[in-house]
Every structure is written in C-alpha cells, then in structure tokens.
C-alpha cells in the first residue's frame, strides 16, 4: 500500500483514493485512514494520497477550508494529468469532508467561495467513481445521499433546497444526530467513530461504483 502526501506511482494504478483529514489532525489521513485502508485492501494495487492542507481550527478555519478546496482541485488535476484513465475515489472526514463537498458541489461557503458550480475539472468529474464524506459540517437533512440518523444541520450547513446533481448519485455523506459538527449533538465519540461504525457500508458503496 502506498500512502503518501503526494504519491507519484511509476505505473498508473487502476484505482487511486484521495483522503482529507479532520481539523487539528497531523498531516496524513487522520480519521480518513480507516476507509482508505479498506479501499486499498479491496482493490489491490490501489494508491492513496492525502490532501495537503492546514486542517486548522478556530479563527484560521475559514482560510484553512479555502486552502483545502484549492488543494483538492490542484492535487486531483495533477494526478489526472499523470494518470488520465485511473478511477478516482474521494474521502473526506470532518473539515476534510467540507473541502471535498465544496470542491465538488460548489459554494457559497463563507467569504472565500462564492461560486455555486463544481470547482473540479471536467476530467476529474468524469473519473471520480465515489465520494464518501463523514462528519461533514456542510451537512443538511433530507438529501438523497445522506446516511445516518441526523436531521439537524451542521455548523456550516448548506442552505435549504441545496442539491449536488452532478455527483449525488456517486456520493454518500455520513452523519448521526449526536455529532456536534455535522449535526447539533454533543458526542465527540460519534464524530470520531464513522470509520468504525460505517466503514464496511461505505466500502460496499465504493465497490458498487468502481469498475476496473
């Protein structure tokens, strides 16, 4: 298994997964590691790449999200330029889910993202087979791709009526009601537990979407 910040395989893989960590986690995959490992085991030869962004908290959060969205766009474009035929899987956790949500579904999100269009390129849009978000602060209840029992909105929730039609058939967003970040609960354990609770289900979804 290759797991680096910027993997550059000598031979292009059939499947490549990008993972984005949660706030304050050290560089790497953070809590996204669980699903990344499941995917690399399910598809031998799969390579993996962590989104390189600050994952900063507090007053730096908005700038961190903006940097993260730019990193998602930049790293996916760079990979597609090297390996244009590879199947791509995206997995974001907490703030990492927010940056992927914004990159694929557009804004608005604070002062740094006003466009409502997807920011990823058409090549990436075509090559992405599955997007799995866990503990996404942009969560809002009632969306077709939601998984879990949360109906309340996250602290950076999408507006009522939001949809992501280009990707909603390839996306799952996991959120349970006790989560204080994607919902309005108070259980940090719930927020940290999606890989353990739903990793197998998320993997089944990914397998159903990947054709290699």
Query: What angle do the packed helices 61-82 and 95-105 form, to 10 degrees?
Result: 60
| Count of C-beta atoms within a 10 Å radius of residue 79 | 24
94 given a catalytic annotation: yes
16, 91, 139, 191: which is the annotated catalytic residue?
191
Decide: 100 and 140 in contact? Cβ < 8 Å: no
Choose among 63, 62, 60, 73: nearest CA to 20.
73
31 given a catalytic annotation: no
Residues 159, 181: Cα–Cα separation, whole Å:
16
Contacts of 145 (CB under 8 A, 6+ apart): 164, 168, 169, 171, 172, 173
37, 136, 176, 179: which is the annotated catalytic residue?
179
16 given a catalytic annotation: no
94, 101, 139, 176: which is the annotated catalytic residue?
94
| Count of C-beta atoms within a 10 Å radius of residue 78 | 13
**Active centre residues (catalytic):** 94, 179, 191
């Amino acid at each position: 298994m290759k797991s680096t910040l910027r993997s550059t395989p000598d031979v292009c893989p059939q499947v490549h997964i990008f993972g984005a960590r949660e706030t304050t986690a050290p560089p790497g995959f953070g809590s996204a590691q669980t699903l990344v490992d499941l995917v690399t085991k399910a598809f031998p030869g799969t390579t993996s790449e962590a989104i390189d962004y600050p994952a900063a908290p507090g007053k730096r959060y908005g700038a961190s999200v903006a940097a993260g969205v730019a990193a998602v766009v930049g790293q996916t474009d760079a990979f597609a330029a090297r390996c244009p035929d590879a199947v791509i899987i995206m997995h974001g956790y907490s703030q990492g889910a927010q940056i992927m949500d914004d990159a694929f579904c557009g804004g608005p999100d604070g002062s740094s993202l006003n466009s409502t269009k997807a920011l990823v390129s058409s090549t990436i849009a075509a090559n992405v087979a599955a997007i799995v978000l866990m503990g996404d602060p942009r969560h809002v209840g009632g969306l077709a791709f939601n998984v879990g029992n949360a109906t309340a909105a996250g602290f950076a929730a999408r507006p009522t009526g939001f949809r992501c039609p280009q990707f909603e058939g390839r996306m799952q967003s996991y959120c349970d009601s006790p989560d204080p970040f994607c919902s309005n609960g108070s259980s940090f354990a719930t927020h940290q537990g999606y890989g353990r609770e739903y990793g197998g289900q998320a993997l089944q979804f990914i397998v159903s979407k990947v054709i290699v």
